[in-house]
Structure 1
Amino acid sequence: MHDKIDSPLQTSIWETAVGLRSFYKSKGFKEIRRTYMPVISVKTIIPYITANDERFVVKSMGELVKNRLLFNKLITLVKRNYEHTHLDNPVAEMEDNSWGKMITADDVILDGSFIGLDPVEKNILAYSFLHTSEKKDTAEIGWAGVHSPEANTLLRSLVFQQIKYAEKQNVQFIEGEFDTTDECAMSLLKVIPVSPCPAWITYRKE
C-alpha cells in the first residue's frame, strides 16, 4: 500500500482559454503566476535603445568567469533571486558548483550575456543572460536580475546591450519569459516595446 502523497495540484493554461479558466476557478484553483512570452523584433527595438549607463562597469559572462571571486558572487546572486521568485515552486537544493554549471550551460551565449558591476568592480549589481534558440535567427533572454531595486535601470541597459549584440550577430528576434512573480521581469516588460501577447497562467490547488 502506497503512502498518501500530500502535494498541491498545479496546472497551466493560456489566458485565452476562458472556459478552462472558469472551470479551474470553480474547482478552487487559485492563480499563482502569469508568464508573458513576447517575441521582440530586434530591428524594431533598436531605435529605442538609449546610451549605456557609464556609471557602472559591464563585463560579459565570458570575461567574468575568469574571475573566480566575482563568478562566485554571481552564483550567489542568481541563486538568491531564483529562489525568491519561485516560492510557490521551491527549487531543489543544489551545491554552488551545480549552479555554476547551470548558468554557463552550452546554450548560454557567453559574449552576449552581460553583468553590471559597481565602479570599483567589487560587487555585482545586475545580470542578464542571452541564450541560443532552436528557432532560426532567434535568441532568448534567460535569467535576469538585480542585487537591489535601485539597479533596475542598469538591468535595462544590459538588456539593450544584448539587443545591440544580437543585431551584430544577425539575430532577427529575441524571445523572453517574464513572470509576474519576478519584479525585475515586470520592470523590463514595461520598458521594452513589445506587442501585446496572451499570458500563460499557472493555477494551483492546495
Structure 2
Amino acid sequence: MLIVQAPYDRIIFSCWENDSEKIKLLQQFPFQLFRKTYMEKYEISILLEKLNDLTVPLTLLSLKQVLTQPSLEEQLFKLLKYSYEQTHLHNPAQVEDWLIWKEKLLEDNSDLELSCIAIENNRVTAYIFVHPIDEEQYEIGWVGQQGNVNLLPILKKMLIGLQNKGITSVEFEVDTTDYNAWQFADLLDLKSKIGWYSYILKNS
C-alpha cells in the first residue's frame, strides 16, 4: 500500500506512456496525471526548413551581452525565476533570490554566445538558452517569455547560429505544463511522440 507520510504531502511517479504495467498499477491508487514530457532529437536543417517563412527579430542579445548590463541581467533572471515557478506548480521550487537562479543557469553550462534574449524598449521579453551535449549536438535549455511573445523567430535565430557553428542536431525537452516551451509543439510534432508521463498522489 502507498501511504504519504509527513513531512511529505505528495508522491510523484513517472513512466513512459506505453508502460502499461506500471500505469495499471498506478490506477489502483488515486494518482492523477499532471504532466507529459517529450524528449526528442531533431536535425537542425529540417527545423530551419519548417521555419523558413519566419523573420528573425533584430533586437536579440546574447547571454554574454546581457550579463554585462546589470539592469537587463536582473530582469532576465527574475523572469527566469518567475517562468519556472509558473510552470512547476505541482512541484514548486524553493523560494530563492534571482541571483541564485543566475548561479543555477551558469552552472548548467549554457552557451554564452548562442543563448538568445529578446529585448523590447529596454525590457527583457523572452529568452531561450542552449547548451552543448557534445561537439555536434546541443540541447535547448530553459525557455521563457512575457507578454505573449512568439518564441519561434527567436528559436530560428538560435538554430541558424548553431548551424553556422557546425552543429547538426539539437535536443528538446518539452513539458505540457510549460506554456512557453509548448509553443514548439507543432514544429516538433510532439503529439505523435511517446511521452514521459508524471503522476501525482496528494495527501488529502
TM-score, normalised with respect to structure 2: 0.89
Name the amino acid aligned to 1:167.
Q
Output the CA distance in 1 between the equivalents of 2:61 and 2:21.
48
| Distance in structure 2 (CA, Å) of the matches to 1:17 and 1:136 | 33
The Cα offsets for residues 104-139 of structure 1, whole Å up to 9 and x where unpaired, read as: 335100111001111x3x111111001111x45210
Task: Work out which of the residue numbers 177, 182, 189 in structure 1 matches 2:178.
Answer: 182
User: Does the CA contact (< 8 Å) of 1:34 and 1:200 recur in 2?
Assistant: yes
Partner deviation per Cα, 1:39-83 (whole Å, 9 max, x = no partner): 1111222222334344x5111111111101001000111111100
In 1, the alpha carbon distance for the partners of 2:190 and 2:176 equals 16
Distance 1:38 1:195 in 2: 12
Cα shift at 1:16: 1.3
| Residue of structure 1 aligned with 2:55, choices 20, 29, 52 | 52
Q: How does 1:76-115 map to 2 (within 5 A)?
A: 76-105=78-107, 107-115=109-117
Quote the Cα distance in structure 1 between the aligned partners of 2:162 and 2:189: 16
**Cα distance, 1:89–1:106 mapped onto 2, change above 3 Å:** closer
- 1:114-125 alignment to 2 at 5 Å? 114-118=116-120, 120=121, 122-125=122-125
Amino acid across the alignment from 1:73: Q
Q: Is the 8 A contact 2:36 2:175 kept in 1?
A: yes
RMSD of aligned residue pairs (Cα, Å): 1.9
Structure 2 CA distance for partners of 1:178 and 1:115, relative to 1, 3 Å? same
Match of 2:127 in 1: 127
Paired residues of 1:39 and 1:194 also in contact (CA < 8 A): no
C-alpha separation in 2, matches of 1:31 and 1:17: 14
Q: State which of 156, 169, 174 in structure 2 corresponds to 1:173.
A: 169
Partner residue of 1:20? 22
The separation in 1 between residues aligned to 2:108 and 2:35, in whole angstroms, is 28
Q: Report how many residues are paired.
A: 197
Q: CA deviation at 1:183?
A: 1.1
The unaligned stretches of length 5 or more in structure 2 are none
The residue aligned with 1:61 is 63
Query: Secondary structure of the residue that 1:111 maps to in structure 2?
Result: coil
Moved more, 25-34 or 138-147: 25-34
Looking at structure 2, the residues matched to 199 and 136 of structure 1 have their Cα atoms a distance apart, in angstroms, of 27
Match of 2:146 in 1: 147
Q: Which amino acid aligns with 1:64?
A: V
Query: Please, what TM-score do these two structures have when normalized by structure 1?
Result: 0.88
Q: Secondary structure at the match of 1:91?
A: coil
Distance 1:31-1:103 versus aligned 2 partners, 3 A rule:
same
Match for residue 35 of structure 2 among 29, 33, 36: 33
Distance 1:195 1:33, change over 3 A: closer
Alpha-carbon distance in structure 1 between the residues aligned to 2:125 and 2:183 = 16
